[in-house]
Structures are given as C-alpha cells and as structure tokens.
Amino acid sequence: MNYRHAYHAGNHTEVFKHTALALLLRRLLAKPKPFIVLDTHAGSGLYDLDAPEAAKTGEARDGIGRLDFRRLATTSYAAAVRPYLAKGSYPGSPIIIADMLRTTDRLAACELHPHDADRLKNLFASDRRVSVHHRDGYEAMLALIPPVERRGLVFIDPPFERVDEAARLAGRLIAAARKWPTGLFAAWYPIKDTRIASDIGEALSRTGIPNILRADLLRAPIDGNTLVGSGMVFINAPWGYAEELETAASELLVAMDYADGRFDLRWITAPA
C-alpha cells in the first residue's frame, strides 16, 4: 500500500498511532532529564483536512471525524489535536512531538520526499529545538543514535510502499535496538491482513532482545483487502505502558463507535 500522510491525515490508524505517541511522550516528560525524539518518516507536519489529498480519500470522516472526545478519559491525545481541529487541520507526528517538548528537549525529524521536507523546514524554521533532515529515515535510525541525551524515543512511521517494507522495518529496528539498547522504539504498520504483523513479530521474536510489545487496534474484522486497522511494536516500553495503552485503546473503540472493533495486546518477547 501507499501511505503518504497527506492522503490519510486523521484517519483511524492516525488516531491510534498518535494516541500511543502522546502517551509515550508523557512518560518521557515525567523525568527531568532532557530527551530526544527521532521521527524517521515525519511527513510535512500539518495537514489541511479540506485539501485535495485528504478530500480524495475522505478517510478523516471515519477516523477523527467520528471521535467523540467527551468519551475519552485519557486526555494526552485530545490535548494534542483539538487546537488544530478547530482550525480545520490535523497535526502530524512532528507537530504533536514539538508541542509537547520542553525547552531542553529535541526533535530530529527526517523526511525523504523533497516537497514534504521543504514544508517541514519552513514549519520549524524558528524552533531551535527542532532539526529537519532531508534524508532516508531508515538510514537516519542508525546514523543519529545513540544520542548525546542518552534517553529518548525513535518513532518509525514508514509509508509501506514497498513489498519488502515489513522486512526492512524489522531489520532496521533490530539493528537500531542493538546499537542503542536503552532507547525506546515505537514502529507503526498497517493491517489489511495478518501478513505484515506476523512477519515483523516473527523477525523480532528471534532476536533475543527483551521487552518487545505488540499492539493492534482494529475497527472491523480483517478481510484481506480493506485497511481495517493498524498496529505498533514497542521496544523498551516503560513499565506500566502496556496497561495504559490498553485503557486508551479501549476508550478509542467506544469513542469512535466501532462496535465490531477490537484491541489486541501481546508481548513478542518478555520484559527483562
């Protein structure tokens, strides 16, 4: 599948991945020491929900458009996106991250598409906490770690344009986690069938790397053709994060009225 952010801004998979992201950032902010976030596939940052790309797919209507914020007790995601929704736009991951950073924290945002990279550079031109890199995110995963801060998050949200994307993602995750054993990693994947999730999970399970968590949120049963949901894998998720994410995901299913949806959470490898 082709997953350029502009065409899918605010859809149901974005709601889940950004909920997970906001919860991770809140955990990092709970400690005083500075941290860095490496956003490997950052997109252009901010998306007009009335733009031709978003209008072409209309996916926001079945995602953020049906989210009843009154039914969310978990507030991190709501606080991140509602100011932008009020203006008819949806924030991508670099906006969500930058808005939550303190003055001592950093964001390194990577984007390979030249137009999107230029837009991202313009967006953060006056923010000294943010560096924008026009480069391949998978290459940056190894080049930019371990960081000087020694703590932080690598957020990986690839487009899944290539048939071997699952293998590429798993391979880079494994290499990066071995290079930075104490780093926190979160990687997203789409769900039309079970193949991508199974391939990633199987590759990670053979590594011996501990503390690998998998979470899938489905709005409908898998049919093999439709984008019915998405999943994420986390390496070194903070203690208690699995339970926190499960609560938030259960709230999302109710708040988006996905009667046939479900949330699956499992450990690929056990915590150390």
Report the catalytic residues. Answer: 157
For residues 83 and 203, give the distance between their C-alpha atoms in angstroms, rounded to a whole number: 39
Give residue for tokens 């019915």.
Answer: 228
For residues 94 and 125, give the distance between their C-alpha atoms in angstroms, rounded to a whole number: 13
Alpha helices by DSSP H, listed for 137-228, are: 137-143, 165-179, 195-205
Q: How many C-alpha atoms does 103 have within 13 Å on its Cβ side?
A: 0
* Terminal Cα distance for the chain, rounded: 35
Q: Is the peptide bond before 32 cis (omega within 30 degrees of 0)?
A: no
CB 36 within 8 A of CB 47: no
Give residue for tokens 């790309």.
Answer: 53
Q: Is 86 exposed, middle or buried (0-12, 13-18, 19+ CB in 10 A)?
A: exposed
Q: Using DSSP, how many helices (H) and how many strands (E) does the chain show?
A: 10, 10
176: tokens are 């990066």
